[in-house]
């Protein structure tokens, strides 16, 4: 029976994206045996799958990636301030070369099931080919936005033209993404989240006609992308240690701190001056470095929302279209703010048409196009930029069972219950990197995922050194963490929007409750808490 108690691997990591490959590398470096599983035929994760035109970072390139790897890819040069998808994918590939992790991965493979056996504390992982591998620690690095969500529209399967979800761009016979040529074609886009907002201006350049099917407008602000010169890159490289300390000191690990003033405390002139400065500045500053009460005071929020609404009115020539593009259902920044390049000006083009599907809902997809209550739109191409089953979606697609065969989906039916967003009672030795209720998910994942992998590696090494084979959170620690996650969230205006990080639960009386899938209490507080837990011998986790 001794042999039975020895799993094939110390750890199996699911996902070969920016977080997963680093986790595999760290575990190996620390002397653990590890196997990585990845559905794609190479590393990259999000950057492997999302190959739609216009796809790029909305994080400053220099603030994304592996800081701890200063010594591994010191010669890397970012070309653009907000790198395009091909550039980020090259970066992840270069990092994978430097870490030499591909040999530790099984590609073109998915995890179908993961079952825990309480008798020996071992996870059995069933792979898509049917093979079963066993491990002590089962670690998901499946990404918060990887499980594609197709809309539930009648007749969708009858459509005869080309159609695809934004994160499953068509590929050739060898699996390489093809450049879809829109010229001369009638193109429809469903969805106006961060993805739709990146695709629409590019598609509009060549499509004969572009129809944007909008259900809910978003608050979008300028990206301000530009090339990075060699000289700038040298300066950025030399300041990497400082940059890391800086991003670690901010709530979301983006390089912005909030303005210490409250929007409600200053004069209208001062407010306008700050808004104007932030609107013209590249990136997320307008969301993350505005007044400190932006996401807690409805009044302060409305000042900025009104400012951005006026910008939309100035940029869109047709007043009716402009009003349709201005959100009325959610506060500014209560959903992720899409970073745009000429998005609003795109609606001034003669070949671009905004179809308000809140006013005239989509009834069905026909063999020829999309029928709304206003009539049928003939389309050669339909792009579904309809987002993802976020945060828990990728885990839901795996048959994960903990103690006594309990399915994870059942344990989390009313929303995730975790300690630190890392482990859930009843699922020993299962870690969710960048997972639900986790401080690395409402975060610049390129940085926070890596920091989390470093933490988990330390915990696994700690356990191994002491001959401990089981880790499971205590009920008390889990309950108080879950409560804290919901409490932090409910104190903000984020609780007023159906963003992708929210699970909308309908209550018996018909009212709805928005349960957060992420920890919004801030990165520094999250990491400090994690360090405290580690220092106190992983207090809150029951180790045996
Ligand atoms: P998002 O932000 O979830 O956006 C999805 C969009 O698709 C949004 O506009 C939705 O409208 C729309 N949608 C979804 N289902 C439908 C149906 N059935 N009919 C019409 N419209 C629909 O996903 P993205 O891919 O844009 O961005 C995800 C994140 O990736 C982003 O935040 C970045 O962090 C990177 P709705 O608002 O639900 O009315």
Does any ligand 1 atom lie closer than 6 A to the CB of residue 191? yes
Global ipTM: 0.99
Query: What phi and psi, each to the nearest 5 degrees, are found at residue 277?
Result: -65, -45
Q: Separation of 387 CA from ligand 1 center, angstroms?
A: 4
Long-range Cβ pairs for the range 479-483 (8 Å, 24+): 479/417, 481/418, 481/419, 481/420, 481/421, 481/437, 481/540, 482/415, 482/416, 482/417, 482/418, 482/437
Closest ligand 1 atom, residue 166 Cα? 25
Does any ligand 1 atom lie closer than 6 A to the CB of residue 385? yes
> Rounded to 5, what percent of the chain is helix, strand, coil?
35, 20, 45
DSSP letter for 442, please. Answer: S
Does any ligand 1 atom lie closer than 6 A to the CB of residue 194? yes
Give dist(CA 490, CA 496) in Å, integer: 9
Q: Separation of 135 CA from ligand 1 center, angstroms?
A: 36
DSSP letter for 103, please. Answer: G
Does any ligand 1 atom lie closer than 6 A to the CB of residue 59? no
Prediction pTM value? 0.96
State the distance between the two ends of the chain, measured CA to CA, in whole angstroms: 19
For 77-220, strand residue ranges (E) read: 105-106, 111-117, 122-127, 132-140, 162-165, 186-190, 209-214
Q: Separation of 191 CA from ligand 1 center, angstroms?
A: 5
Closest ligand 1 atom, residue 193 Cα? 26
Give dist(CA 50, CA 131) in Å, integer: 29
Place of tokens 């400082």: 242
Taking the CA of residue 65 as centre, how many other CA atoms within 13 Å lie in the half-sphere pointing to its CB?
30
> From the first residue on, what is the mean pLDDT of each consecutive set of 10 residues in the chain (544 residues)?
76 98 97 97 96 95 80 80 96 94 98 97 97 98 97 98 94 78 97 98 98 98 97 89 90 94 97 98 95 97 98 98 98 98 98 98 98 97 98 97 97 96 98 95 93 97 97 98 97 97 92 94 96 98 98
Structure tokens, 59: 């994080």
Q: pLDDT digit string (tens) for 398-419?
A: 999 999 999 999 999 999 999 9
How far does CA 178 lie from the centroid of its chain?
Answer: 24
Q: pLDDT digit string (tens) for 262-308?
A: 999 999 999 999 999 999 999 999 999 999 999 999 999 999 999 99
Closest ligand 1 atom, residue 500 Cα? 3
Calculate the CA dihedral of residues 358, 361, 365, 369 and round it to 10 degrees.
-70
Residue whose CA lies nearest to ligand 1 atom number 29:
194
Q: Separation of 98 CA from ligand 1 center, angstroms?
A: 35
Counting ligand 1 atoms within 8 A of each CB, the residue from 56, 149, 191 with the most, and so the one to mutate, is 191
Does any ligand 1 atom lie closer than 6 A to the CB of residue 336? yes
Instruction: Check: CB of residue 221 under 8 Å from CB of residue 366.
Output: no
Does any ligand 1 atom lie closer than 6 A to the CB of residue 192? yes
């Amino acid at each position: 029976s001794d042999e039975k108690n020895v799993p094939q691997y110390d750890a199996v990591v699911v996902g070969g994206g920016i977080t997963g490959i680093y986790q595999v590398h760290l575990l190996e470096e620390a002397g653990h045996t590890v196997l990585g599983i990845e559905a794609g035929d190479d590393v990259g994760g999000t950057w492997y799958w999302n190959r739609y035109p216009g796809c790029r970072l909305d994080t400053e390139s220099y603030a994304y990636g592996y800081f701890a790897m200063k010594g591994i890819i010191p010669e890397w040069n970012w070309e653009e301030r907000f790198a395009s998808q091909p550039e980020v994918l090259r970066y992840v590939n270069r990092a994978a070369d430097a870490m030499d992790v591909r040999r530790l991965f099984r590609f073109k493979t998915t995890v179908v099931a993961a079952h825990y056996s309480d008798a020996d504390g071992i996870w059995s992982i069933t792979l898509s080919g049917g093979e079963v591998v066993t491990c002590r620690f089962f670690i998901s690095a499946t990404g918060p936005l990887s499980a594609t969500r197709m809309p539930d529209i009648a007749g969708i399967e009858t459509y005869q033209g080309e159609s695809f979800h934004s994160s499953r761009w068509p590929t050739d016979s060898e699996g390489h993404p093809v450049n879809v040529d829109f010229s001369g074609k009638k193109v429809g886009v469903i969805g106006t989240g961060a993805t739709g907002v990146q695709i629409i201006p590019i598609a509009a350049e060549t499509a004969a006609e572009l129809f944007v099917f909008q259900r809910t407008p978003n608050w979008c602000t300028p990206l301000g992308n530009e090339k990075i010169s060699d000289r700038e890159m040298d300066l950025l490289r030399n300041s990497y240690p400082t940059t890391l300390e800086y991003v670690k000191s901010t709530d979301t690990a983006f390089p912005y701190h909030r303005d210490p003033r409250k929007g409600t405390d200053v004069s209208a002139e001062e407010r306008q001056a700050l808004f104007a400065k932030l609107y013209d500045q590249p990136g997320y500053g307008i969301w993350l470095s505005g007044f400190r009460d932006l996401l807690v005071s409805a009044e302060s929020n409305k000042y900025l929302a009104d400012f951005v609404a006026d910008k939309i009115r100035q940029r869109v020539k047709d007043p009716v279209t402009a009003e349709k593009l201005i959100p009325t259902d959610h506060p500014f920044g209560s959903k992720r703010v899409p970073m745009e390049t000429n998005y609003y000006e795109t609606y001034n083009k003669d070949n671009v048409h905004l179809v308000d599907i809140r006013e005239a809902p989509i009834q069905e997809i026909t063999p020829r196009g999309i029928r709304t209550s206003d009539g049928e739109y003939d389309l050669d191409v339909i792009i579904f930029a309809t987002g993802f089953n976020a945060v828990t979606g990728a885990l839901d697609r795996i048959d994960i069972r903990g103690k006594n065969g309990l399915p994870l989906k059942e344990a989390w039916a009313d929303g995730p219950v975790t300690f630190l967003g890392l482990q859930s009672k009843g699922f020993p030795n299962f870690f969710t990197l960048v997972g639900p209720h986790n401080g690395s998910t409402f975060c610049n994942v390129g940085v926070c995922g890596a920091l989390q992998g470093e933490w988990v590696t330390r915990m696994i090494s700690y356990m191994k050194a002491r001959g401990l084979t089981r880790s499971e959170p205590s009920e008390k620690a889990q309950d108080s963490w879950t409560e804290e996650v919901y409490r932090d969230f409910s104190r903000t205006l984020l609780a007023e929007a159906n963003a992708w990080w929210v699970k909308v639960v309908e209550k018996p009386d018909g009212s709805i409750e928005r349960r957060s899938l992420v920890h919004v209490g801030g990165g520094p507080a999250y990491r400090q808490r994690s360090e405290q837990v580690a220092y106190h011998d992983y207090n809150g986790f029951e180790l045996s």
